[in-house]
Amino acid sequence: MIYLDNAATSWPKPDGVAKAVYDCINIAGGNPGRSGHKMSLEAGRIVLDCRDAVAGLFGIDDPMRIVFTLNTTDSLNMAIKGILQPGRHAITSSMEHNSVARPLKALEPYGIETTFVMADSEGCIDPEDIEKAIRPNTSLIVLTLASNVAGTIQPFREVGAIARRYCIPFLLDAAQGAGHVPINVKADNIDMLAFPGHKGLLGPQGTGGLYVADGIKLNTIREGGTGSYSDMLTQPDILPDRLESGTLNTPGLAGLDAGIDYINSTGIDNIRRHEIKLAGRIIDGLNDIDRVKVYGPVDPKEHAGALAFNVGDMDSTEVSYLLDNDYDIEVRAGLHCSGLAHKTIGTFEQGAVRVSTGPFTTERETEIFLDAVNKIVR
- At residue 141, the 3 state secondary structure works out as strand
3.40.50.1820, 3.40.640.10, 1.20.1080.10, 3.30.300.30: which CATH number matches 15-266? 3.40.640.10
Average pLDDT over residues 352-357: 98
Q: Is 15 exposed, middle or buried (0-12, 13-18, 19+ CB in 10 A)?
A: exposed
Q: Answer yes or no: are the C-beta atoms of 160 and 188 closer than 8 Å.
A: yes
Same fold, 2-10+267-377 and 15-266: no
CA distance 333 to 112: 33
Beta bridge partners of 194: 173, 210
Asked whether the predicted pLDDT for residue 150 surpasses 80, the reply is yes
Average pLDDT over residues 146-156: 97
**Around 228, how many Cα atoms within 13 Å sit in the side-chain half-sphere?**
13
Task: Indicate the average pLDDT of the chain.
Answer: 96
Asked whether the predicted pLDDT for residue 232 surpasses 90, the reply is no
| Cis bond upstream, residue 240 (ω within 30) | yes
- At residue 122, the 3 state secondary structure works out as coil
Average pLDDT over residues 326-337: 96
Assigned superfamily of 2-10+267-377: Aspartate Aminotransferase, domain 1 (3.90.1150.10)
CA distance 78 to 88: 17
Amino acid at 30: G
Go through 30-46 and write b for each residue having 16 or more CB atoms within 10 A of its CB, e for each that does not: bebbeeeeeebebbbeb
CA distances for 206 relative to 243, 251, 254, angstroms = 17, 10, 12
- At residue 348, the 3 state secondary structure works out as coil
* Residue 57: partners with Cβ closer than 8 Å, 6 or more residues away: 183, 201, 260, 263, 264, 268
Q: What is the pLDDT of residue 290?
A: 93
Which one, of 336, 80, 51, lies nearest residue 194 by Cα?
80
- Alpha helix ranges (H) inside 107-165: 127-132, 156-165
Q: Answer yes or no: are the C-beta atoms of 296 and 345 closer than 8 Å.
A: yes
Asked whether the predicted pLDDT for residue 30 surpasses 90, the reply is no
Average pLDDT over residues 45-63: 98
Query: How long is the chain?
Result: 378
Asked whether the predicted pLDDT for residue 228 surpasses 80, the reply is no
0.95 cut: is pTM over it? yes
Q: What is the pLDDT of residue 57?
A: 98
**Around 52, how many Cα atoms within 13 Å sit in the side-chain half-sphere?**
9
Q: Which helix (H) or strand (E) holds 281?
A: helix 268-287
Percent of the chain residues topping a pLDDT of 70: 100
Quickly count: other Cβ atoms within 10 Å of residue 227's Cβ. Answer: 18
The distance from CA 224 to its chain's CA centroid, rounded to whole angstroms, is 26
Average pLDDT over residues 117-125: 97
Q: Which helix (H) or strand (E) holds 356?
A: strand 352-356
Residue 33 banded pLDDT, cuts 50, 70, 90: confident
15-27 and 38-58 helices cross at what angle (nearest 10)? 150
CA distance 244 to 259: 22
* Residue 43: partners with Cβ closer than 8 Å, 6 or more residues away: 24, 28, 29, 30, 31, 32, 250
First to last CA, the chain: 22
pLDDT tens, residue by residue, 246-301: 899 999 999 999 999 999 999 999 999 999 999 999 999 999 999 999 999 999 99
Beta bridge partners of 355: 307
Q: What is the pLDDT of residue 39?
A: 86
Radius of gyration of the chain (CA): 21
Asked whether the predicted pLDDT for residue 229 surpasses 90, the reply is no
Domain boundaries, the chain: 2-10+267-377, 15-266
